[in-house]
Amino acid sequence: MKRTPLYQAHLDSKGKMVDFGGWEMPLNYGSQLEEHHQVRNDAGMFDVSHMSVVDFSGAEAKAFLRILIANDVDKLQTQGKALYSCMLNEAGGVVDDLIVYYEDDENYRMVINAGTTHKDMAWINAQAQGFAVVVTLMSDLAMIAVQGPNAREKVFAAMGGVEQVAGALKPFNAASLGALFIARTGYTGEDGFEIMLPASSAEFTWKMLLEAGVKPCGLGARDTLRLEAGMSLYGSEMSESVSPLEAALNWTVDLSDESRGFVGREALEKLTPEKTIVGLVLEGKGVIRDHNQVLTNLGEGEVTSGTFSPTMGKAIALASVPKGSEGLCEIEMRGKRVSAKIVKPPFVRNGKILV
């Protein structure tokens, strides 16, 4: 299995290591529940160095990205501004979801998912044929996500000089400080930063954050936090056979420029989605699991991501159901049908319960 530059730091903090898509990663450091609440109430940090950073440079970098992804990078006019989108195949299915950051019209940075890096890079390089663009996989970088209501002030306390460049950053913007790239983004529904830095600096930075009172958190808490925040997971809410229109990601698709023929556009324009993603909150006791059958007022669906919400004290889920489903539904759980309420995600954002 592959290891991140922070592998030893995880062992030092007694991380329970598991196989995560071929990477040896910490599931938790003792209590997943405590780690979840740590992020909601204070500040926690995640090693996300298994994710891949890809840089695009060249005279046609912008033109290339305008056809590679479904959202339009032409919206990015300010240095450091970020955009969430999906890369689509010709059938309109999602090759991967990603964030792209703007440096200037000839330089962009993209963060893609860990488990899809090999196929993503093959896809990107195939699409790049004929464009004056250089695609570089930045394999010498590590990434640490620091998240929570106190995340920013603890990052500033731990990392000298960072506040000068990142103190005024608005959400979904990034700034550089030497080899550091600091983005005010995350996957938890809380404020904070995702910090990209040289692999050689990762362990020292992790220790400085520990000393500033940031607690390490594992994959378990990361998943319950992202699900409470109503954030999609590649391979669950979307896939190569599921379009962004069926994954409630319509807002990541920009069709306003009719001349922009991005990959998958033609298929999307012909698609009439019959399903969408909704939130579910269980009425009674139990835990909703992935792939549980859902019975709505308009027909059958399926749970795409299910868990117990530590913040709400209830079972919650995201589910693919017939478009227009509303009100109460039933979930097939262990041979029994249990009542649940259909809601609009997110469930929790910035520590507040929203449903």
Q: Mark whether 334 and 194 lie in a shared domain.
A: no
* Mean pLDDT confidence for 55-59: 98
In this structure, the answer to whether residues 143 and 224 fall within a common structural domain is yes
CATH code for the domain of 202: 3.30.1360.120
176 and 45: one domain?
Answer: yes
Q: In what order do the strands lie in the sheet with 44-47?
A: 174-177, 180-183, 192-198, 141-147, 44-47, 215-216
- 13/154 same-domain check: yes
Confidence band of 224 (pLDDT split at 50, 70, 90) = very high
pLDDT tens for 312-327 read: 999 999 999 999 999 9
Same domain, 27 and 175: yes
Token pair, residue 19, equals 């196989």
Query: What is the domain count for the chain?
Result: 2
Task: Please tell me whether residues 197 and 340 are part of one structural domain.
Answer: no
Instruction: Using pLDDT thresholds of 50, 70 and 90, give the confidence band for residue 343.
Output: very high
pLDDT of residue 212: 98
Residues 36 and 175 in one domain: yes
| Structural domain includes residue 148 | yes
Determine the average pLDDT of the residues in 18-39.
97
Domain-embedded: residue 100: no
pTM here is: 0.96
Q: Are 189 and 225 in contact (CB under 8 A)?
A: yes
Within this chain, do residues 319 and 186 fall inside the same structural domain, yes or no? no
Q: Does 318 map to a domain?
A: yes
Taking alpha carbons only, the member of 344, 345, 346, 318 closest to residue 331 is 318
Average pLDDT over the chain, rounded to whole? Answer: 97
What pLDDT shows up at residue 354? 98
Tens of pLDDT, residue by residue over 134-177, are 999 999 999 999 999 999 999 999 999 999 999 999 999 999 99
- pLDDT band for 94, please (50, 70, 90 cuts): very high
312 and 192: one domain?
A: no
Q: Dump pLDDT digits (tens) for 230-245.
A: 999 999 999 999 999 9
Q: Are 289 and 260 contacting, i.e. CB atoms less than 8 angstroms apart?
A: no
Residue 41 forms part of a structural domain: yes
The verdict on residue 152 lying in a domain is: yes
In a domain, 340, yes or no: yes
Tell me: do 36 and 173 sit in the same domain: yes
DSSP 29-70: SS-HHHHHHHHHHS-EEEE-TTSEEEEEESTTHHHHHHHHBS
Residue in 214, 216, 215, 180 with CA at minimum distance from that of residue 198: 180
CATH code, 328: 2.40.30.110
Average pLDDT over residues 69-94: 98
The residue range of the domain holding 316 is 274-353
Q: Which pLDDT score is estimated for 339?
A: 98
In a domain, 297, yes or no: yes
Same domain, 215 and 313: no
Q: Which of 290, 312, 287 is nearest to 302 (CA)?
A: 290
Is residue 305 domain-resident? yes
